[in-house]
Structure 1
Amino acid sequence: MLKLPPRLRLDNAPEEWARLEGALRAELAQVGNAAGRGITLDASGLNDFDSAALSLLLSALRLCGQDGWQLTLQQAPRELRELARVYALEHLFWPDVAAPAEMA
């Protein structure tokens, strides 16, 4: 299981993305032939973040989705879930949440 860093803000997001992207690519290659095409990302240690965390998570989601992999985010702080909700992105990371209704 891959882990998010404790701090994920605009000033350190590029280097954290470089680290996470490398780890995701290695994980995808390592388990590429395994059953259940899913990657789990542990967010339990994340305690200092801003909206850059969502950008990084969207990039991770896109990377995994390119080849049909599913990214699961576990143990996310309540504040991260709330931030995702504010940006109407919560359903992308937690499939049990309904997608927002289409605007008419």
Structure 2
Amino acid sequence: MLTLPAELTFTQARACAQQLVQALRQSGLPGQEGAPHVVLDASALQVFDSSALAVLLECRRAALAQGRALTVQAMPEGLHNLAELYGVQELLTRR
């Protein structure tokens, strides 16, 4: 399971996306137990802006490139509302 930080704004977005995508790629390397479904835990996320959506979408792209699905667990309602505003909520599966 991948985990989002407590704060994810423009300032942290690039580094966070790079770390998450690298972890996702490493978990799917041949010879490793790469699950066909990736869960991204957003329960710690408290401070965010639309950059958090960009990070989630980048993780989704990376997962799909590996033939894996991505689900966001415990997505804050405010982030889901932003996804609806931008019309990308259907791209982000949540539970």
Q: What TM-score, normalized to structure 1?
A: 0.82
1:95 is displaced (CA, Å) by: 7.1
Aligned to 2:27: 27
Aligned to 1:8: 8
Q: Per the alignment, in what secondary structure is the counterpart of residue 11 of structure 1?
A: helix
Identity %: 39
Counterpart-to-counterpart distance in 2, 1:52 and 1:95: 18
Aligned to 2:58: 59
1:20 is displaced (CA, Å) by: 1.0
CA RMSD of aligned residues (A): 1.6
1:17 is displaced (CA, Å) by: 1.3
Counterpart-to-counterpart distance in 1, 2:20 and 2:38: 12
Counterpart-to-counterpart distance in 1, 2:61 and 2:49: 20
Alignment of 1:1-104 (within 5 A): 1-29=1-29, 30-32=32-34, 37-94=36-93
Counterpart-to-counterpart distance in 2, 1:39 and 1:7: 21
**Partner amino acid for 1:82?**
N
Counterpart-to-counterpart distance in 1, 2:93 and 2:65: 19
Count of aligned pairs between the two proteins = 93
Q: Between Structure 1 and Structure 2, whose CA radius of gyration is higher?
A: 1
Runs of 4+ in 1 over 4 A off after TM superposition: none
